[in-house]
Structure formats: structure tokens, C-alpha cells
Structure 1
Amino acid sequence: MIHIILLLIVITVFIWSAIRPVRYFNWTLEVLPAVTILIIAITTYSKFRLTTLSYFIIAILSIMMFIGGHYTFPKVPLFNWIKDYFDLKRNDYDRFGHFLKGLLAIVIREILIRRSPLTKGIWLYTVTLSITLAISALYEIIEWLGSVIIKGGKVSEDFLGTQGDVWDTQWDMFLSFIGAILALLTFSNLHTKQLRKKISGPNNFNR
């Protein structure tokens, strides 16, 4: 039941996001990764059902992408208010989003535990963090390629989201990495409990 509720919430936000966004081309670029992940999660639900925590994370990240797609990441109103109130130099919704993307480490952890020989320990954490960081770097490459193909203009500027910071790409990857570390430190025990309930059989789950 909780999974259906999460899906309905995500679909509702998606529909809202698609109604008169700042630019539909920007919106398409921003929401496409989330829509792709959602399609994969839905189509594999019956054959490879994840834990509720993993679905909750996928829902949070999807909603974050839909909000960014609607307003464009550099112009999300709440973070514009934070920028003005604290006299900041930039709208930090994009960086907040990259920090949240570190939560993907939990989903990656689950896939590794259930589909690889890795057991609980240093190698599981190392490979999980490495894959999370690789996904973050790949996303930055896609943003760069998209901007090169678009060749400038407001669409390219808003999609890349650097806001004049030459170190924006490095900040984004660093924040995803920190978010992944904190996610593993904070949620691994809860995740393990949910996995123990889900995984059964002659070998049981003892990772």
C-alpha cells in the first residue's frame, strides 16, 4: 500500500511539474533521468521488488528533479528566498539536489547485496561509494554534452546550472559523495533490517 501511495504522490508532482514550466525543453532535459528510473522501478516491481526505503529514496529524488524541471534548478523559489534572506551569491537548490542524490547509495547498496557476492564490510561500502560517485560524474558529463549540443543560450545556462561558478562541477560531485557517505552511515542499519525481512531462503540474509 505504501508503495502505491508513493507512486501516486510522485505522479501528482510530475503532472504539476509539466503544467506551464519555465521552458518545456529545459523541463524535458531535467525530468528525463527521473522518469527513466521510475519506468525501470515500475517495470521491475514484480520481479525485483526493492525495499520500501529504496522506493522512498527514488520518490524523493524524482520529486526533487520534477521541481527543478518546473522552475529550472537555478530559480526554485524557496531557494531564491534563502539566497536573498542570507545574502548568498547563488540559488543552491542545484547543490542541495546533488547532495540528495547521495541517497542513491542506499539503492545501489541493495542491488549489490542482492545481485553480487559482496557482503557487509569495507568492500561493500567502497564499491557503493565508487558507483555513486561514478553516476554523479556521468551526470555532469551529460550536462556538459547537453550544453555543448545546445550551444549556449538560457536553456544551456539553466540546464548546466553553474551560475557563474567555475568549480560548480566539482562541488556537485563532492556534495553527492558526501551525501552518499552520510546516507550509508545514517540508513544502513534500517536498510539491513528491511533487507532481512525481504530476503529469505537456505542461506538467509546475514550481511
Structure 2
Amino acid sequence: MNRQRLPVTLLIGSIVVIVISAIAPAVWADWLLENAVVAVALPLFVFGYRRLRLSNASYVSLFVFLILHETGAHYTYSNVPYDQWFADAFGVTLNSLLGLTRNDFDRLVHFSYGLLITPAAADLLAQRAPPRGIWRWILPVTFIMSHALIYELVEWAAATAFGGDLGQEYLGTQGDPWDAQQDMLLASLGSIVSMLFLGLTRRLPVEAGVPINR
């Protein structure tokens, strides 16, 4: 597929995914809250496309993350029925196999945030604030870590502002007092794994204006 056509195809796919997610979501108010960031980010990517062209690998990674996020938005993160899907396919629940005691879809998405958003972060830094030496490895990870922190603060503020059942659905701690810390750790680990992959496959940008996987 032509390099110019893939981003357009992924944009159309993103709109389709969002529309499907919006069909009878479990909690409409929670769906709207979860998509507030998408409503800001997607237009920024579209209108900034010519000024900040990411690699196709980054766009694909962003699209995969959007699918995961919209799945969480549709069901609410604490109630995505992945265990039932796994049981329907394999006759046993995933939680029982892994020894999990809660719905861990949110954990998967936080790890995936680090894993799948880091390529775009590396592209962004290479083009707008090109790091040198070891900072090429450190800055994309700390960029993701800062986002993980900001998201947890925004999540806490929104849950406090709305309160009640909506606040609890959006926060999604499921009774875990260390939920925020674990989410930030998983995003950081995902970013580290992503950077190791980019480095080992020689896809890490080496100069300004050179995207990953040209």
C-alpha cells in the first residue's frame, strides 16, 4: 500500500471503530468521558499531518491502541468481558490460567499505551526536539512516563468532580489502592519494551526529520 494512502485508510478505520464503540455503550456518560481525549487528539493528528508526518509504523500502532481504548470505552474498562471471550474460545477463563483476581483489561491497555505510543513519541522528538546519544533512548520513555502521570491526575480529578457511580466507573480502581501506581509502572514498562524493540530492529530515529521505519 502507498505510504500516503495508509494514514488515510487508518483514519477511516478509526472513525469506523469509534462509531461501532458508540453503539449502545454500557454507560453513555463514561463513553463520553473516555472519548474526550480522542476528540482532541484525532483532529490534531489530521490537521497536523503535513507539519508532523509520523512513520506508518507509528500510525498503525496508534490505530491498534485506539481499538483497545474504544473497547474499554464501550464496555467500561472494568467490565470488558475478555474472560468470557477466552472461555468461549478455549473452554477455560484467562484469569484462572494466569491466576488473576480482577478484570485486568485496564492493565493491558496501560501497558499497551507505553508499547504502542512510544514509536510516535520517538518520531515526535526526532523531528521537533532531536535528542543525542543516550537521550535518544531516555527521552521517549520519560515522555510516556509523564503522560502516564498526567493521565492519572486527570482521571482522579474527573472522578472527584463527577463522583458517584460515574466517577467509580471512570476511575476503575476495582478496590485496588495502588491502581494508579501500577498503571504508571505498566505504561513505563511498555515504553521500555518498545524502545528496546526499536533499537534492536534499527528503527530508532537517528536525526531530525527521520521517522521510524521510513
Taking structure 1 as the reference length, the TM-score comes to: 0.86
RMSD of aligned residue pairs (Cα, Å): 2.3
Corresponding residue for residue 185 of structure 2: 174
Is the 1:99–1:172 contact (alpha carbons within 8 Å) kept by the matching residues of 2? yes
Structure in which a larger fraction of residues adopt helix? 1
Corresponding residue for residue 88 of structure 2: none
Q: 70, 74, 96: which one pairs with 1:70?
A: 74
Is the 1:79–1:92 contact (alpha carbons within 8 Å) kept by the matching residues of 2? no
Residue 88 of structure 1 deviates from its aligned partner by 2.5
Residue 31 of structure 1 deviates from its aligned partner by 1.8
Structure 1 runs not aligned, ≥5 long? none
Q: Deviations over 1:144-191 (max 9, x none)?
A: 00111012x221111111111111111000000000000011134353
Determine if the alignment matches structure 1 residue 126 to structure 2 residue 130: no
Is the 1:74–1:91 contact (alpha carbons within 8 Å) kept by the matching residues of 2? yes
Aligned residues: 197
Residue 50 of structure 1 deviates from its aligned partner by 1.0
Quick one: higher RCO (CA 8 Å, sep 6+), 1 or 2? Answer: 2
2:95 is matched by which residue type in structure 1?
K
Q: 1:199 to 1:177 in 2, by over 3 A?
A: closer
Q: 1:79 to 1:146 in 2, by over 3 A?
A: farther
Aligned residue runs from structure 1 range 5-44, under 5 A: 5-44=9-48
Q: Which moved more, 1:93-102 or 1:52-61?
A: 52-61
Q: 43, 47, 53: which one pairs with 1:49?
A: 53
Identity across matched positions, percent: 30
1:31 is matched by which residue type in structure 2?
N
Is the 2:123–2:210 contact (alpha carbons within 8 Å) kept by the matching residues of 1? no
Q: Which moved more, 1:103-112 or 1:160-169?
A: 103-112
Aligned residue runs from structure 1 range 144-183, under 5 A: 144-151=156-163, 153-183=164-194
Determine if the alignment matches structure 1 residue 113 to structure 2 residue 126: yes
Q: Partners in 2 of 1:55 and 1:190 — Cα distance? A: 18
Is the 1:35–1:62 contact (alpha carbons within 8 Å) kept by the matching residues of 2? no
Residue 34 of structure 1 deviates from its aligned partner by 2.6
Q: Which moved more, 1:3-12 or 1:77-86?
A: 77-86
Q: Which moved more, 1:7-16 or 1:182-191?
A: 182-191
Q: 1:149 to 1:53 in 2, by over 3 A?
A: same
Q: Partners in 2 of 1:79 and 1:136 — Cα distance? A: 26
Q: 136, 147, 156: which one pairs with 1:135?
A: 147
Q: Deviations over 1:11-59 (max 9, x none)?
A: 1111011111011110011122233221111111122211101111211
**Runs of 4 or more above 2 Å deviation:** 79-88, 187-193
Q: 1:158 to 1:84 in 2, by over 3 A?
A: farther
Q: Partners in 2 of 1:199 and 1:110 — Cα distance? A: 8
Q: Partners in 1 of 2:119 and 2:32 — Cα distance? A: 26
Q: Deviations over 1:115-160 (max 9, x none)?
A: 11413x3112222211110100100001100111012x22111111
Taking structure 2 as the reference length, the TM-score comes to: 0.84
Tell me the SS of whatever aligns to 1:191: coil
